[in-house]
Amino acid sequence: MSLYAQYSEYPFSIKKLQMTYQCWSLKDQPELRLSDWFNATTDSTHMDMRVTNWSAPIVWTDTYNESVLADYYTKYPVTVGLIVFAVGRYLLYYLGRFLESANRFFMVNQKVIFYIMLDDFSHMPWIDLDRHRTLKIFKIKQARRWQDVSMIRMKVISEHIEEHIRREVDYVFCMDVDQLFKAEYGLETLGDSVAQLHTYWYKESPGKVPYERNESSEAYIAAGEGDFYYHAAVFGGTATQVLRITKECAKAIMKDKKNNVEAVWHDESHLNKYFFLHRPSKILSPEYCWDLSQNKTPDIKTVKLVWNFKNYELLRNHL
């Protein structure tokens, strides 16, 4: 009977077995040091933008050593989750091509679980996935206003990480679906908490970026404060950290709602406040989320992910 009780308390989980195994073998697992894989030496094109003043690496195309990373994660494998929302017309227009490109370029040769949050199972596109890739599909409710779609994301993500994702993956990314992978997006992007530099603002000083300036919002950042402006279309980290990020953002969003306040850039404003208070341990260059309609400057070498085109008429009329 007690055996049965134990069994039902700890249902079978591969991730748990892996964790147990990792505990046994933890002594043998050397930590991957930054200097082993990251080249912090600044060249003229990056204008001193390779390491932050709190010592977090800013990952650009020519800063990482792919083979060192591949060797390390072959010895100590990880599973990476990718959470994406696709509701209403975004499901029809973007999900298929987003997933096809992710299958091809996201964490090649690593174990990946795609978590798809959608509002209509019957519109789920059929995708041929490579080995090591799994899809999990969840149904969420249709939002009443378009602003709510991005706002409920934080809450829904935190609930799913808490309920199951944290036992299934080591690292997890959350991304907008209106994007396409264009080149390998790999192990160099993994870290405790990972933030994405925004294409439009990465060369601006903090005084000029669109942080929330309404003092009554939880997302408020005072003039002159802040480090970088981060794009909410990509963020990630360990499952534990992403749980913390999304929980805090969801809490702040709810608080604002109660006070009848809405930050101008919605969840992005709150994400920026979170990363201002809890600085990310790794930052991705704009090559990891580029807007192709921007002119490329010499610092943008290999674009790994781009914004997909938007037809606002078509996309937004339904909400």
HEC string for the chain? CHHHHHHHHCCCCHHHHHHHHHHHHHHHCCCCCHHHHECCCCCHHHCCCCECCCCCEEECHHHECHHHHHHHHHHCCCEEEEEEEECCHHHHHCHHHHHHHHHHHECCCCEEEEEEEECCHHHCCCCCCCCCEEEEEEECCCCCCHHHHHHHHHHHHHHHHHHHHHHHCCEEEEECCCEEECCCECHHHCCCEEEEECCCCCCCCHHHCCCECCCCCCCECCCCCCCCCEEEEEEEEEHHHHHHHHHHHHHHHHHHHHCCCCCCCHHHHHHHHHHHHCCCCEEECHHHCECCCCCCCCCCCCCCEEECCCCHHHHHCCC
Listed ranges 26-34, 161-169, 173-181, 182-190: which one lies at the site for ligand 5GW (CB under 6 A): 173-181
**Subset of 132-151 contacting ligand 5GW (CB under 6 A):** 146, 149-150
**Judged by CB under 5 A, does residue 267 bind Mn ion?**
no
Catalytic residue among 188, 218, 248, 268: 268
Listed ranges 9-17, 180-188, 209-217, 311-319: which one lies at the site for ligand 5GW (CB under 6 A): 311-319
Q: Which residue is nearest to Mn ion (CB)?
A: 176
**Judged by CB under 5 A, does residue 268 bind Mn ion?**
no
**Subset of 214-243 contacting Mn ion (CB under 5 A):** 233
**Judged by CB under 6 A, does residue 93 bind ligand 5GW?**
no
**Judged by CB under 5 A, does residue 176 bind Mn ion?**
yes
Nearest to ligand 5GW of 83, 112 (CB atom): 83
**Judged by CB under 6 A, does residue 255 bind ligand 5GW?**
no
**Judged by CB under 5 A, does residue 178 bind Mn ion?**
yes
**Judged by CB under 6 A, does residue 90 bind ligand 5GW?**
yes
186 binds, among ligand 5GW, Mn ion, none (CB under 5 to 8 A by kind): none
**Judged by CB under 6 A, does residue 185 bind ligand 5GW?**
no
Q: Contact residues for Mn ion (CB under 5 A)?
A: 176, 178, 233
Catalytic residue IDs: 268
Q: Contact residues for ligand 5GW (CB under 6 A)?
A: 84-88, 90, 146, 149-150, 176-178, 233, 315-316, 319
